Amino acid sequence: MREQTSEQIRTTREQTTEQLKIIREQTARNFEQMRLQVMKEVGIVQGQAAEEIREAKEELKQAREEMQQAKEEISQMKEQLNTIAGSISSGAQTSPQPSYADVARTPPTSQPSNVRTLSSMRTTPSSFTDTLFCTIDTSRVSEEDRGKAQVGEVRQAIEEKVRAREGGQPNWRCAAVVKDVRNEDRIKVVCRDEAELQLVREAAERTMVKGVRVLRDQLYPVKVDGANRTAVLDSSGNILPGAAEALGKENVVTIAKMHWLSNKENGKMYGSMVIYVTKASDARRLLDERYFHLAGESASTNVFERRQ
């Protein structure tokens, strides 16, 4: 009887031990599964956070680029307004005031030849003025050479350089030379046409005053909507090398720079961009024609408005 009881106790112990072993193993497996699941979820959260950080950095970069563009455009618009103001001021002294008889003799559909008009095109912004000018910066001229970098001296130096050119005009004079009222270190030389603008730039760059700089040309932005990104961006979302030159040739304009405005990460085939052309007449033409061509495919043009 005792032997039977001892055997039963031993058997019960073995069974209990085996059950405890099974429970421990199952518990260990459950903990391992929970650990792996937690690690997986942590990895997903980290990946999402990294993606959000990357997107935030990209948006910040784009915002900085747009801010820089805005600063450049505001500076260019100020320069144009100052030049226009100077031209109007000088013109007011030379243009005769139209008399009542002049106006009365003018047909209703026309205007007197000496009455100045302003363009009121539907899509063309007022900043697209036809006034051409070369901007000269004298901020880096030393104090001892300041006297050589005044408006009169700069005008004289440019006129002498132009007159001295082979086959040049011995009596050539600048159309107008004015000082920037908002920046006393800048002088603007108003030009009659594109050819004269290039002539003045070359003459200004050859002046003997050390520190004088000829600033870059005025740029005019035009927004392009519905542009095929494959004609503009590479697989990494960067502007294709040579794209500005190729698109400029296709549209018969000179594109100084261009930026993709739409989200580069959404994978959409079409989006918006802004191009900066060097001539107001070209910008006006693109807006009037309403289309911009990209490798044979056409996109629509609109006035570029800065994002708020």
Q: What is the pLDDT of residue 87?
A: 55
Q: Return mean pLDDT, the chain.
A: 77
Is 166's pLDDT higher than 70? no
Strand partners, 237: none
Write down the pLDDT at residue 99: 44
Residue 287 lies in a domain: yes
Task: Report in angstroms the alpha-carbon separations of 108 from 117, 122, 306.
Answer: 15, 22, 39
**Mean pLDDT along residues 40-50:** 77
pLDDT more than 90, % of the chain: 15
Shared domain for 203 and 135, answered yes or no, is: yes
- Same-domain status, 33 and 6: yes
CA 217, CA 141: separation in Å to the nearest integer? Answer: 21
pTM beyond cutoff 0.95: no
- pLDDT at position 202 is 86
Residues 184 and 229 reside in one and the same domain:
no
Quote the domain boundaries for residue 263.
Answer: 220-302
Q: Hey, is 270 helix, strand or coil?
A: strand
Closest by Cα among 15, 99, 79 to 215: 79
Of 193, 214, 235, the domain-final residue = 214
Percent of the chain topping pLDDT 70:
76
Given a contact cutoff of 8 angstroms between Cβ atoms, the answer to whether 249 and 296 are in contact is no
Claim to verify: residue 148 and residue 208 sit in the same structural domain: yes
Which among 219, 188, 186, 183 is positioned nearest to 68, based on CA atoms?
219
Tens of pLDDT, residues 84-102: 666 555 544 444 544 434 4
Q: Which of 241, 201, 243, 227 is nearest to 286 (CA)?
A: 227
Q: Identify the H or E element spanning 136.
A: strand 132-137
- Does residue 100 lie within any of the structural domains? no
Distance CA 97, CA 87 (A): 16
Residue 289 corresponds to which tokens in the numbers above?
């024609």
